[in-house]
């Protein structure tokens, strides 16, 4: 009996210990849920429920002008009617084009962030290199000459103040090193977006803005030069710009086919890259100044493509899978698009300048009207966005990536006699591939969803809808006109676009990073 009672006592104590342990786990779980409950409740109330509700709205005809306390009309389920109407509406395609056009500044912003990070990663004082005594007086002399020139040109006081502030920044960086530059480069991220937009709106003012005050006389000189230049010289300049763009295309096509023959890019990667490389030639049909150029540029591009297809697809030295190197081909194509589009734009700009200067309404070429002009509003916003993006979080990410590049790789490149560019291209750039991939993904997502604050604050979407993006279109349809069902449909179309492009980036961009 004594042994049985002792066994019962042991079993009872074990059960009691298990219950105590279970109660501790339960209490810890309850405590954890209690701490997480504000976040969970907030996520459900402000994210999940509105998300589901907007999906339901997208298939309804809810309109605040028809369904309110003064009208008893019932909300009806309309199926895909909102989506069909959206794809048939010309404004949707126009605003989608505006969104994509504004995203064309993203490669310049990423490149600017990388260049800024590389510069800020170096010792900028110059004391160690023995040139400090030359750099500082030279910077002071340069800033002084610029200030005297502005005073002599009769520049506005605000313009002189801005140039003086830039000069003091340059001199402070030379005196106190890269910490000053890092702080000032990141300064736009500390300021409120609306405040920055209002400031730039004042800077872009056609009558009183310092931007036009600085550009007034240089633009007049350019106008006089264009007026004095024979028309055949201007036409030759337009053709030269287009031919340079075609020359770049020829080099890129040759590079892509060489990568394909060497097994660096698969067939699908080659097709995708060729599609993007050929885009500038077909955009030339819309942008080229003359009918002959509209016909010649795409014709020459097609001839170049057919020539490479006929000569380079016959043999292949190193076969690979069809999806191999898709990311590499895509990056080559994206980098090449920038100069090709630039030279096509230069050709159109030369023709546009010639047309303006020959108009009898202008005795001299006027500066751009920026936000008040249909043609200049989007470039003005892109310039402001570039200024804000160069010193953004992308710069900090690149700075962190540069600090993690193994120094032994750079030392090995120096021993092998690599030039600074070769060292960057073959050592630094591959090490930054994961960071670049992340930045590209986030930039694309932000570009498709962005543009609302700028348009709302600076232009109200004008002039004539030239700065209205998809996000501002959603706002107008939902809150300005009250068509909540239609606005929800636009939102879900935008979500599908963002999700699809992000999945493509993750599918093929990660392969580029791994390659």
Q: What average pLDDT does the chain have?
A: 81
Q: Which of 200, 173, 161, 97 is nearest to 457 (CA)?
A: 200
**Residue at 509 is within a domain:** no
Whether residue 340 sits in one domain with residue 256:
yes
**Residue at 470 is within a domain:** no
Number of structural domains, the chain? 3
The pLDDT score that the predictor gives to residue 249 is: 92
pLDDT band (50, 70, 90) for residue 429: confident
Domain membership of residue 50 as a residue range? 2-57
Domain boundary among 158, 191, 215: 215
**Residue at 340 is within a domain:** yes
Q: Which of 366, 367, 386 is nearest to 378 (CA)?
A: 386
Top-confidence residue, 371 or 71: 371
Neighbours of 146 (CB within 10 A): 15
Whether residue 228 sits in one domain with residue 204:
no
Whether residue 221 sits in one domain with residue 211:
no
Whether residue 221 sits in one domain with residue 326:
yes
Render pLDDT for 269-306 as a digit per residue (tens, 0 to 9). Answer: 888 889 989 988 888 888 888 888 889 999 999 999 99
pLDDT band (50, 70, 90) for residue 127: very low
Q: Residue 14: is its pLDDT beyond 80?
A: no
CB-based contacts of 12, cutoff 8 Å, min separation 6: none
**Residue at 331 is within a domain:** yes
Top-confidence residue, 4 or 236: 236
Contact 447, 99 (CB under 8 A): yes
Whether residue 190 sits in one domain with residue 249:
no
The pLDDT score that the predictor gives to residue 7 is: 44
Domain boundary among 367, 391, 406: 367
- Measured distance CA(495)–CA(489) in Å, rounded: 10
- Asked which of 76-80, 175-179, 192-196, 334-338 is least confident by mean pLDDT, the reply is 175-179
pLDDT band (50, 70, 90) for residue 433: confident
The pLDDT score that the predictor gives to residue 157 is: 65
**Residue at 314 is within a domain:** yes
Whether residue 290 sits in one domain with residue 303:
yes
The pLDDT score that the predictor gives to residue 174 is: 64
Whether residue 348 sits in one domain with residue 229:
yes
Mean pLDDT, residues 300-327? 83
Angle (CA) 149-153-158 rounded to 5° is 85
- Measured distance CA(135)–CA(132) in Å, rounded: 5
Q: Residue 361: is its pLDDT beyond 60?
A: no
Render pLDDT for 22-48 as a digit per residue (tens, 0 to 9). Answer: 577 787 888 888 888 888 898 888 888
Whether residue 299 sits in one domain with residue 244:
yes
Domain boundary among 189, 215, 241: 215
The pLDDT score that the predictor gives to residue 116 is: 85
**Residue at 463 is within a domain:** no
Whether residue 229 sits in one domain with residue 190:
no
Top-confidence residue, 92 or 66: 92
Q: Residue 460: is its pLDDT beyond 80?
A: yes
Whether residue 193 sits in one domain with residue 140:
yes
Mean pLDDT, residues 246-260? 91
Q: Residue 50: is its pLDDT beyond 60?
A: yes
Q: Residue 131: is its pLDDT beyond 50?
A: no
Whether residue 241 sits in one domain with residue 182:
no
**Residue at 385 is within a domain:** no
Contact 485, 479 (CB under 8 A): no
**Residue at 375 is within a domain:** no
- Measured distance CA(344)–CA(286) in Å, rounded: 10
Single pTM value for the model: 0.79
Mean pLDDT, residues 70-95? 88
Q: Residue 139: is its pLDDT beyond 70?
A: no
- Asked which of 88-102, 144-158, 282-296 is least confident by mean pLDDT, the reply is 144-158
CA 25 to chain centre: 49
- Asked which of 45-49, 115-119, 162-166 is least confident by mean pLDDT, the reply is 162-166
Whether residue 204 sits in one domain with residue 187:
yes
Q: Is 71 helix (H, G, I), strand (E, B) or coil?
A: strand
Top-confidence residue, 69 or 186: 186
Render pLDDT for 473-487 as a digit per residue (tens, 0 to 9). Answer: 999 998 888 889 999
Top-confidence residue, 17 or 342: 342
The pLDDT score that the predictor gives to residue 304 is: 92
**Percent with pLDDT over 70 in the chain:** 82
Q: Residue 84: is its pLDDT beyond 90?
A: yes
């Amino acid at each position: 009996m004594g042994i049985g009672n002792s066994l019962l006592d042991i079993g009872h104590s074990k059960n009691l210990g298990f219950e105590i342990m279970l109660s501790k786990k339960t209490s810890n779980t309850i405590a954890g849920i209690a701490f997480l409950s504000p976040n969970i409740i907030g996520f459900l109330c402000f994210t999940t429920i509105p998300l589901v509700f907007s999906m339901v709205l997208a298939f309804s005809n809810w309109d605040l002008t028809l369904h309110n306390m003064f009208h008893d009309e019932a909300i009806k389920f309309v199926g895909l009617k909102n989506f069909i109407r959206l794809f048939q509406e010309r404004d949707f395609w126009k605003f989608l084009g505006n969104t994509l056009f504004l995203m064309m500044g993203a490669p310049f912003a990423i490149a600017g962030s990388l260049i800024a990070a590389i510069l800020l990663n170096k010792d900028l004082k110059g004391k160690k290199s023995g040139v400090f005594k030359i750099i500082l007086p030279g910077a002071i002399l340069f800033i002084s000459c610029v200030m005297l020139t502005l005073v002599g040109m009769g520049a506005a006081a605000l313009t002189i103040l801005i140039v003086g502030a830039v000069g003091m920044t340059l001199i402070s960086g030379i005196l106190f090193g890269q910490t000053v530059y890092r702080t000032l480069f990141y300064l736009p991220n500390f300021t409120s977006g609306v405040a920055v937009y209002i400031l730039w709106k004042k800077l872009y003012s056609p009558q009183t803005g310092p931007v036009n005050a600085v550009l007034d006389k240089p633009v007049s000189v350019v106008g006089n030069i264009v007026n004095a230049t024979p028309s055949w010289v201007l036409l030759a300049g337009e053709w030269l710009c287009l031919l340079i763009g075609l020359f770049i295309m020829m080099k890129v096509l040759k590079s892509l086919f060489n990568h394909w023959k060497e097994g660096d890019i698969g067939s699908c990667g080659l097709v995708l890259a060729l599609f993007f490389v050929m885009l500038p030639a077909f955009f030339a049909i819309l942008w080229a100044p003359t009918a002959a150029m509209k016909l010649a540029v795409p014709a020459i591009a097609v001839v170049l493509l057919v020539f490479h297809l006929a000569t380079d697809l016959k043999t292949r030295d190193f076969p690979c899978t069809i999806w191999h190197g898709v990311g590499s081909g895509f990056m080559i194509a994206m980098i090449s698009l920038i100069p090709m589009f630039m030279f096509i734009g230069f050709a159109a700009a030369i023709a546009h300048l010639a047309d303006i200067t020959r108009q009898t309404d202008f005795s001299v070429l006027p500066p751009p009207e920026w936000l008040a002009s249909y043609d200049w509003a989007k470039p003005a916003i892109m310039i402001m966005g570039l200024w804000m993006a160069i010193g953004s979080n992308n710069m900090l990410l690149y700075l962190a990536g540069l600090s993690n590049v193994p120094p032994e790789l750079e030392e090995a490149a120096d021993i092998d006699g690599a030039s600074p560019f070769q060292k960057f291209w073959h050592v630094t750039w591959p090490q930054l591939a994961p960071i670049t991939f992340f930045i590209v993904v986030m930039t694309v997502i932000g570009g498709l969803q962005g543009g609302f604050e700028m348009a709302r604050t600076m232009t109200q979407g004008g002039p004539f809808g030239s700065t209205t993006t998809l996000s501002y279109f959603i706002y107008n349809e939902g809150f300005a006109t009250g068509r909540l069902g239609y606005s929800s449909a636009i939102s879900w179309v935008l979500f599908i676009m963002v999700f699809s492009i992000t999945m493509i980036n993750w599918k093929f961009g990660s392969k580029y990073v791994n390659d």
